Amino acid sequence: MKGNSGNHAEINKQDIVDSVPQTGFFGHPKGLLTLFFTEFWERFSYYGMRALLLYYIYDQTVNGGLGFSEATAVAIMSVYGSLVYMSTIIGGWLADRVLGKSKSLFYGGVLIMLGHVALAFPGGATTLFLSMGLIIIGTGMLKPNVSSVVGEMYAENDNRRDAGFSIFYMGINSGAFIAPLIVGSVGQKVDYHLGFSLAAVGMLAGLLVFLFTRKTYLGLAGAAVPNPLTREERGRVLTRLGIGALVLAAIVVGSSLLGWLTIRSFTIAIGVLGVLIPIAYFTVMYRSGKTTEIERSRLLAYIPLFVAAVMFWSIQEQGATILGVYADKRTQLDFMGIRIEPSWFQSANPLFIIVLAPIFAWIWTRLGDRQPSVPVKFSLGLLFAGLSFLVILIPGQFGGGGLVSPLWLVLSYFVVVLGELCLSPVGLSTTTKLAPAAFSAQAMSLWFLAPAAAQAINALISPLYSEANETLYFGIIGGASLVLAVVLFLLAPIIRRAMRGIH
């Protein structure tokens, strides 16, 4: 990478494309190899750690766990997930104004690795929260920027772009698939901290791939700082950051002294933030003088889609929390002569995505103009999400109260993936199309706020789950998703009109 950030800002898109070797990885730019394996190992580390973390938090101390209650463990996991997605706003800003995408994702990877290293050593709750903090910031810096760099390697009219992203997402899901099987097995069969150390090694592998291949394979992709801070802006930003840090420190110290700073109060605060931040985002965009009348109509059309996405991700993300507890406590883990580790179930989602994504892509292509509209696809996503929770009710109602077959849990994961493939692939695309032009750079952050809000809400509602009321819990949430699916389906014609020409 040559030059300084000021020069990078003057580089145009074609300069970037010309700097990247355009063949060398399955007919795609060589840089795709760099980003494929960087993200493969990053997702290996993230999902390996996540598959193990829930059990580490609530397992008994004699087994090497922290001994928290199951409800507290689920709440901590939900808050963690919410903050990971919220932090993408910071990561996007740092890339656009300070570091550029390439440096942001590298430094983010370093922070993620340090977070896993922290958990590799026994240190109790203090080490847990330190690790989470590092991984939250690191993932926020890496996740939104690595996808953006993939896009920079292709010319605007390059018909390989969609296929390139498909290969890239295959890397994501491949890493997510094998991680629980390896990290989960070592963590649960041998030692939790050894499992976390494997996650650290995985992130190190990703960093080494990026470090040794980026100059040759990525060229100028991700190197530019698109909108660098001016000298005057730096002063204002530093002042605001300083004031913000002081206010935050005062709140933390004051709350601690008054005894208000508890896991429960922090969970409530994140839950409120998870709802207020998207509302603030929409309000600012809608009231902006840069937003045209047509864009305001499209923004109003996006609101019910965003609400649907929050409902969907609320159910999907509980696959790693509530269904993680269900796998451990309610599932028969000796099956066909094999001892199943509860963490293995976390591999079901990425496995089904790897298998089904090409099939769904083929179906939409075959249907062409006859394929369902965006609102109808979203309603199908909610339908399958609701059914995935209702599936879990069947063995609970008719199984006589004993342990249930693991096949029911696998079926639940399968059904929710059907919904994910209806909703998730079109979600970001629709977000970028419906977002006002003046806010196009922030569109990806807006989409990430849906799972952030979902997990913030989960942090508040998941403590209501228990084995005694699981029928009520799964029934109400699954039923709510089905009702919302019907409402969205009925509103689809109105939403389509409000989208003003966007399909």
338 within domain boundaries: yes
Burial class (CB in 10 A: 0-12, 13-18, 19+), 155: middle
Is this prediction's pTM over 0.85? yes
422 and 330 in a common domain:
yes
The domain that holds 2 is classified in CATH as: 1.20.1250.20
156 and 131 in a common domain:
yes
What pLDDT, on a 0 to 100 scale, did the predictor assign at position 52?
93
Backbone angles phi, psi at 165, to 5 degrees: -65, -35
264 and 222 in a common domain:
no
**Per-residue model confidence as pLDDT tens for the chain (503 residues):** 444 444 444 677 787 787 777 887 878 888 889 999 999 999 999 999 999 999 999 998 878 889 999 999 999 999 999 999 999 888 888 887 888 888 999 999 999 999 999 999 988 888 999 999 999 999 999 988 888 888 888 887 777 877 787 788 888 899 999 999 999 999 999 999 999 999 999 999 999 999 999 888 888 888 878 778 788 888 888 888 889 888 878 887 887 777 777 777 888 888 888 889 999 988 988 898 888 899 899 999 999 999 999 999 999 999 999 999 999 999 999 988 889 999 999 999 999 999 998 888 888 888 888 889 889 999 999 999 999 999 998 887 776 668 899 999 999 999 999 999 999 888 877 887 888 877 776 777 788 899 999 999 999 999 899 888 888 999 999 999 999 999 999 999 999 998 887 76
With b meaning 16 or more CB within 10 Å and e meaning fewer, what string describes 400-436? eeeebebebbebbbbbbbbbbbbbbbbbeebbebbbb
Side-chain half-sphere of 69: how many Cα atoms within 13 Å?
Answer: 10
69 and 135 in a common domain:
yes
Structure tokens at 156: 């605007």
What is the domain count for the chain? Answer: 2
167 and 296 in a common domain:
no
Contacts (Cβ under 8 Å, ≥6 apart) of 388: 315, 412, 413, 415, 416, 419, 478
232 within domain boundaries: no
Distance CA 480, CA 251 (A): 37
* pLDDT tens column, 290-323: 888 998 999 999 999 999 999 999 999 999 999 9
214 and 79 in a common domain:
yes
38 and 147 in a common domain:
yes
261 within domain boundaries: yes
What pLDDT, on a 0 to 100 scale, did the predictor assign at position 441?
63
Distance CA 210, CA 204 (A): 10
Pairing status of strand 338-339 against strand 334-335? antiparallel
Structural domain range at position 363 = 244-503
236 within domain boundaries: no
108 and 79 in a common domain:
yes
